[in-house]
Structure 1
Amino acid sequence: MASSAPGGVVIVGSGLIGRSWAMLFASGGFKVKLYDIEQQQITNALETIRKDLKSLEEAGSLKGSLSVEEQVSLISGCSSLQEAVEGAVHIQECVPENLELKKKIFAQLDSIVDDKVVLSSSSSCLLPSKLFASLVHVRQCLVAHPVNPPYFVPLVELVPHPETAPATVDRTHALLQKIGQCPVRLLKEVDGFALNRLQYAVISEAWRLVEDGVVSPTDLDLVMSEGLGTRYAFIGPLETMHLNAEGMSNYCDRYSEGMKRVLKTFGPIPEFSRDTVEKVNQVRDAVCRSVPAHACHRWAPPAAGTSALEVGDSSFLTLPVHGSIMSAGPRKSSVTSELVIHLNLSPRDLGL
C-alpha cells in the first residue's frame, strides 16, 4: 500500500543518485516524480530503474513490502519543473556537483514552491550557505547528502543552512527514517561535512603510506578491508575507543600520548602525484591480468551514469544482508564475536 502521507516526492535529476533516491522513496510507498530537462533522459532512467529493481528482487535485496511492479508504478517522469512540484512535500535535487548549476535550480524552485515543501540538495560538499544564498524559502532548505550507492548504504548527512528552520531538519530526518535510511544531523556546516572529512583524512594518509614506500597499494587496501573496515562496519571510532579500554577517559589516559606522537609524524597534504597514480595503476593492471576478466570490474571505473548493478558488482548486494545480521542481533555476527574476543569484552559489555 502506498504511503498515506499527503503529497509526494520530486527528484530533480535522473542520473545515478536521482534514480537511487527515486527507488528508495518508492520502496517506502511514496509517489515519486522524476524531473529532467530531456524527455529521453527520463525514459532511459525509468527503464533503468525497472531493470535495477528486477535485479534486486532476483537477488533477494529488494527494499520495502511492495512488489517491483507496485514500486515502478509509483515513479513517473516529468519534463516540466512547474508541473513536477505541484503537491510535493519534499524535493530532492540531484544534478551534477556544480555550484552555479545547483544555485540556478534552487532559484527556479524558490520562485514556484509554497511555504511548506522541503528543498533538499544531494550535494556531497557544497556548503548550504552558498547553495541557498538569497533564497526566499531558505528556512525550508538543507543538504541531505547520501552515500554512494544510496540504495545500499543508508547514511544520509543532514546539513542545515544557518537559517534553516529546526522543523525542516526534523521533517527530513523523519522522512528518511521512514524509507529505511539512517540520517545524521550536523549541528552546523563545515567544508566536506562529516563523512568526506573522515574519508579524506584516511585517503590522505593512505596515499602518503603508498607514496613513501611504506606499504603496497594492495596491502594498504587490505589494512582497511580486513582491519579497520571490519571493525568500523559495526562500531564507530569513538565507540571503539570506549570499548578498547575501561571507558573513554581510561583510553585517553592510556593511549593519547602514543596517538599524539604518531600524529606529529603526519606529513603535509599530498599532491596526489602522477608517480603514485602510476604505482597504483600498475598494481591494478597486474591484478586484472591475474584474475578472470569478469572479476576486473572491481578495479575498473564504471561508465558515466551506470549503476553498481549495471557494472555487476555483486558485493553491494551483500550489504543488505550485513544490515539484517546487525538488526537481528550481534549474537548472529561472527565478526562481532571476534571483536569481543579481541577487545577482551564480555557479552554483557555489548548488551548481548
Structure 2
Amino acid sequence: MTRPAPDTAHPVAIVGAGLVGSGWALVFARAGLRVQVYDPVAEVRAGILPWARESASALAAVGLIEDVEAVMARLHVVDTLEAALDGATYIQESVFERVDVKSEISRAIDAVMAPNAIVGSSSSGIPASRFTQDCAHRGRFLIAHPVNPPHLVPVVELVPAPWTEAEALAGARELMQAVGQVPVTLSREIDGFILNRLQGALLNEAWALYDEGYAGLADIDATIAHGLGLRWAFMGPFETIDLNAPGGIVDYAARLGGMYHAMAQSRTPRAWPEETIRRAGEERREALPEAELAARRAWRDRALTGIAAFKKAGGLAP
C-alpha cells in the first residue's frame, strides 16, 4: 500500500501530553513532522522529552526508527496553548476523559485554531457531539481515538460528529495513513466506537466467567494471550472465522452460529459486580504488586515494540 506523503510545511499540535498525548507526539515526529506539545501541568511538560528519547531509542534498537536525534529535533514542548497551535493544521487533543474537561479545552482550541485546521480528540468512548457543539469551528472537530500507546499500536478510530465536515474527516484519514497509523473510519457516532464495544463484549464475558467461578484471572488471560490473541495480532474476527471452516465464513456461520446465539441468549447484561471487582483486584495485586505496575507497563511496551518489528519484517504491518 502506497502511503500519502505527510505535509511537513505545517506543524502538528498536541494538547494534553500524558501517556496518550506523548505517544501521539512520537507518532508525528518520527513521520517527519514538527510537533508542538502543550500540557497545562509543568511536571508533565518536563517529562515529555526524556520519555520520548527513551521510547525512540527503543524503536531504533529494533529498526523502527533510523535517527533518534532527528526525531527529537522535531519535538518542541511549549508553555501555552497558543504556542502549540501556532501554524498547526492538525491538532490532537488528549485531555482527561470527561465531558466537562473536553468541552472546556475544545472551546479554548476553537478560539485559537486556524479556521482550516482539523481537531482530532483521543476520546476513547465519548462522541464528539457531546463536547464540540458550542464550537464556532465544530465542523472541523472529530474523534481520532488511538490504542494506548499510539506509537506502538497503529489503529486509530475516526468518528465524525453529525456536523463534522466530510473534508475534515477525509483529511484526518489521509494524515493518519501518511504517518503510518491504520485509520478505521466510522460512518456515524456510537458510544464506545468499534474498539471499546468489541473489547467491552469480551470483558463482560470474562467478568461473568470469573464471577461464576469457571476459571481464575490468570487462566482467562492465558486463553487470550496464548490463544485468540495470537491470531488477532494480524487478523480480525471475520477473517479468523473465514479461515476456520472449509467453506469459509458462510460455512462457519452454518456450523457454529447457533451455538454462539445460544451462548448470547444465556447472558443477561449487568454491571460488573463490586465484590467480584474487589476479588479480582486482590488477585491481580497478589500477582503484580501496585509498586510494580509502572515496570510492567514498560515491559508491555517492550513486548509491543518487538511485535511491531516482527510484523514489519514479516510484511504484516500496514
Check if 1:14 corresponds to 2:17.
yes
Which of residues 23, 28, 31 in structure 1 aligns to 2:26?
23
Conserved? CA contact 1:308–1:316, under 8 Å: no
Structure 2: runs of 5+ lacking an equivalent: none
> Helix, strand or coil: the match of 2:136?
coil
Code of the aligned partner of 1:32:
V
Conserved? CA contact 1:35–1:79, under 8 Å: yes
> Helix, strand or coil: the match of 1:327?
coil
Code of the aligned partner of 1:263:
A
Conserved? CA contact 2:207–2:272, under 8 Å: no
Q: What is aligned with 2:268?
A: 267
Conserved? CA contact 1:12–1:94, under 8 Å: yes
> Helix, strand or coil: the match of 1:142?
strand
If the length of structure 1 is used for normalisation, what is the TM-score?
0.81
What is the CA–CA distance in structure 2 between the aligned matches of 1:33 and 1:117, rounded to whole Å? 14
Q: What is aligned with 1:301?
A: 293
Give the superposition deviation at 1:52.
2.4
Q: What is aligned with 2:306?
A: 318
What is the CA–CA distance in structure 1 between the aligned matches of 2:297 and 2:46, rounded to whole Å? 20
Give the superposition deviation at 1:328.
5.8
Conserved? CA contact 2:62–2:309, under 8 Å: no
Q: 1:206 to 1:38 in 2, by over 3 A?
A: closer
Higher RCO, 1 vs 2 (CA within 8 Å, ≥6 residues apart): 2
> Helix, strand or coil: the match of 1:145?
strand
Check if 1:179 corresponds to 2:171.
no
CA offsets per residue over residues 155-179 of structure 1, 9 Å max, x none? Answer: 1000111111111111111111111
Give the superposition deviation at 1:119.
0.9
Which of residues 49, 60, 63 in structure 1 aligns to 2:62?
60
What is the CA–CA distance in structure 2 between the aligned matches of 1:283 and 1:81, rounded to whole Å? 39
Give the superposition deviation at 1:36.
2.0
> Helix, strand or coil: the match of 2:112?
coil
Conserved? CA contact 2:159–2:187, under 8 Å: yes
Conserved? CA contact 1:138–1:163, under 8 Å: yes
What is the CA–CA distance in structure 1 between the aligned matches of 2:107 and 2:99, rounded to whole Å? 12
Aligned pair count reads 312
What is the CA–CA distance in structure 2 between the aligned matches of 1:191 and 1:83, rounded to whole Å? 33
Q: 1:162 to 1:218 in 2, by over 3 A?
A: same
What is the CA–CA distance in structure 1 between the aligned matches of 2:47 and 2:226, rounded to whole Å? 38
Conserved? CA contact 2:88–2:114, under 8 Å: no
Q: 1:250 to 1:41 in 2, by over 3 A?
A: closer
CA offsets per residue over residues 76-131 of structure 1, 9 Å max, x none? Answer: 11112223212111000011112111111110111122221001111101111102
Code of the aligned partner of 2:154:
P
Q: What is aligned with 1:109?
A: 109
Give the superposition deviation at 1:312.
7.3
Q: 1:165 to 1:275 in 2, by over 3 A?
A: closer
Q: What is aligned with 1:251?
A: 252
Give percent identity, aligned residues only: 33
> Helix, strand or coil: the match of 1:88?
coil
What is the CA–CA distance in structure 1 between the aligned matches of 2:293 and 2:284, rounded to whole Å? 15
Q: What is aligned with 2:52?
A: 49
Q: 1:116 to 1:276 in 2, by over 3 A?
A: closer
**Bigger radius of gyration:** 1
Conserved? CA contact 2:16–2:38, under 8 Å: yes
What is the CA–CA distance in structure 2 between the aligned matches of 1:198 and 1:119, rounded to whole Å? 25
Q: 1:3 to 1:177 in 2, by over 3 A?
A: closer
> Helix, strand or coil: the match of 1:82?
helix
Give the superposition deviation at 1:31.
0.2
CA offsets per residue over residues 270-299 of structure 1, 9 Å max, x none? Answer: 4332245325633652x45xxxxxxx79x9
> Helix, strand or coil: the match of 1:189?
coil
What is the CA–CA distance in structure 1 between the aligned matches of 2:19 and 2:110, rounded to whole Å? 25
Structure 1: runs of 5+ lacking an equivalent: 289-295, 330-352
Single out whichever of 236-245 and 114-123 deviates more from structure 2.
Answer: 236-245
Q: 1:84 to 1:217 in 2, by over 3 A?
A: closer
Q: What is aligned with 1:232?
A: 232
What does residue range 154-193 of structure 1 map to in structure 2 within 5 Å?
154-193=154-193
Q: What is aligned with 2:200?
A: 200
Code of the aligned partner of 2:305:
L
What is the CA–CA distance in structure 2 between the aligned matches of 1:36 and 1:283, rounded to whole Å? 32
What is the CA–CA distance in structure 1 between the aligned matches of 2:203 and 2:152, rounded to whole Å? 22
Q: 1:106 to 1:270 in 2, by over 3 A?
A: closer
Single out whichever of 73-82 and 319-328 deviates more from structure 2.
Answer: 319-328
Q: 1:164 to 1:326 in 2, by over 3 A?
A: farther
